[in-house]
Amino acid sequence: MNDVIQVRGLELAYGKEEVLSGLDFDLPAGSVTGLLGPNGAGKSTLLRVLATELRPDAGTVSVLGLDPRRNARAVRRAIGWVPDRVDLPRWMSIDDHMRFLRPFYPTWDKAEVARLLELFELDPRARIADLSKGQRMLEALVAALAHSPRLLLLDEPFSGLDPFARRRVFDGVLDHLRDAGKSVLVVSHSINDLERCCDRVALLSEGRITTCEDIEGLQRRSARVAVSLDPDAVPWSPPGEPIIEETGADTATLFYLDWSDALAAELANDRAVRDLDLLSRDLEDVLVASVARERTA
């Protein structure tokens, strides 16, 4: 599988504040990948680098085989990019905006524009100034998709969208793109939304990608375990490298990001463990645990 995005050793700082530090990241073609991370981790910065809006201080970046620094216009022409802040000319109508953008993209697809506007129930005659925040985001999404980009970069696309609009984005856009073999990189804090639309997630923390794999595998490799301990065995050192979420006199709740059958057997055979129970966890638990372990490290 070819990677549509390849980032190696990416470094970028805003003044003295280092945002990205030696970031490595690959985005396989045809995947819908969610980019997660705490506030200030550098998610939007990474997308802006990929969208040619920022020039990295160091490292190499390849977008669709192109270097954004040297081929900025070609990259912009090939990707679709919806930033978190959509400042469109307020006086334009939606139709005006589409007509304005059309000459810049040779692969402009009027039929696709009409389909998406109908899907999102947007009136082409409506002025951008009169659109709600969510409608403006949808309008920007239409503009980003109108030229059939091979790669779509979305920064917080679901903010301001009502559940119905969100569902239309999932079903009518992202699934459509996935079926068409297009690649999507989505930044969002809504893990539920990412679980719904993405097949891979990447976790960005402290300026680096700490985790990047498909969601099922990530969830399969993690486990939250509640253990009852023999009071005589306390203090006790658990096997592996769990994140200790909670401890009591003879109980503990552990979160493993590298859970395996061998680790389960080792824990079961530990003489200090009188009982163990596997608790439920979701993608958000995995994200929080991963960030906690990164910060501890």
Partner 1 sequence: MRRTAALLWKEWRDHRALVFLFALLAPFAVWATQAAWIEDPADPMIGSVILPAIAVLFAAVLTAEALCADFASGAADALGRLPVSPRTLFGTKLAFVALVFPALLVWITFGEHLRRIAFGHDVELLWGEVLLSRFIWLIGATATMAVAACASLLRRGFPAVLAGSLMVLGSLVLVSRANDGAGPTWVQAALETWGLGLVLGTASVAFLCTAVGAYSPWTKARDARRIATGALCFCIVGLPAFATGLVRYRSDTSLQPGDPVTVQRSAPSPDGRYVALQVGRSAPWPGATLEAVWLLHVKTHEIRVLPGMQLCMPVWHAMDSTWSRAGELVCIDKGDEPCIAWIEPTTGTVVRTRELVDWPKFLDDVYSPAWCEIETGERAEDGAREYSLHWPKTGQHRTVHSWRRPHPTRRSGEAFYLDDRDLMRCTPEGTVERVLSGGEFRPVVAPDGSLALFRDEDRLWHVVETRTGTDVLDPGDWGLFGWTSRGRSAGVFQNRSKEGEFAIVGELGVRNLVIPGDRLYELNPTPDGGFVAHREWREGDDRDYRIERLDASGRVLEVLYENPR
Q: How far is the CB of 90 from partner 1 (least distance, A)?
A: 7
| Three-class DSSP category at 109 | coil
95 binds partner 1 (CB under 8 A): no
CB 183 within 8 A of CB 28: yes
Nearer to partner 1 (CB atom), residue 87 or residue 232: 87
104 binds partner 1 (CB under 8 A): yes
Pairing verdict, β 58-63 and 79-82: unpaired
112 binds partner 1 (CB under 8 A): no
β strands within the chain, DSSP E: 3-14, 17-28, 32-36, 58-63, 79-82, 151-155, 183-187, 200-205, 208-214, 223-229, 243-247, 251-256, 273-279
Only one of the segments 15-23, 73-81, 182-190, 218-226 lies at the binding site for partner 1 (rule: CB under 8 A); that segment is 73-81
Only one of the segments 95-103, 212-220, 237-245, 288-296 lies at the binding site for partner 1 (rule: CB under 8 A); that segment is 95-103
14 binds partner 1 (CB under 8 A): no
126 binds partner 1 (CB under 8 A): no
Pairing verdict, β 183-187 and 223-229: unpaired
Of 76, 150, 224, 281, which one interacts with partner 1 (CB under 8 A)?
A: 76
77 binds partner 1 (CB under 8 A): yes
Query: What is the x/- site pattern for partner 1, positions 192-231, by CB under 8 A?
Result: ----------------------------------------
92 binds partner 1 (CB under 8 A): yes
Pairing verdict, β 151-155 and 183-187: parallel
96 binds partner 1 (CB under 8 A): yes
Rounded to whole angstroms, the Cα distance separating 74 from 52 reads 10
Q: How far is the CB of 77 from partner 1 (least distance, A)?
A: 4
Of 73, 133, 220, 295, which one interacts with partner 1 (CB under 8 A)?
A: 73
CB 8 within 8 A of CB 56: no
Nearer to partner 1 (CB atom), residue 75 or residue 272: 75
Of 91, 163, 235, 280, which one interacts with partner 1 (CB under 8 A)?
A: 91
* Distances from the Cα of 70 to the Cα of 23, 63, 75, 146, angstroms: 20, 11, 9, 24
102 binds partner 1 (CB under 8 A): yes
Say how many residues touch partner 1, by CB under 8 A: 24
Nearer to partner 1 (CB atom), residue 78 or residue 194: 78
Q: What is the DSSP secondary structure assignment for residue 169, as one 8-state letter? A: I
Which residue, chain included where needed, has tokens 């993690």? 222
Exposed, middle or buried, 38 (CB in 10 Å: 0-12/13-18/19+)?
middle
CA atoms within 13 A on the CB side of 228: 4
CA 125 from centre of chain: 33
Q: How far is the CB of 93 from partner 1 (least distance, A)?
A: 11
114 binds partner 1 (CB under 8 A): no
Q: Give the interface with partner 1 as residue ranges (CB under 8 A).
A: 51, 53, 73-74, 76-77, 81, 83, 85-92, 96, 99-105
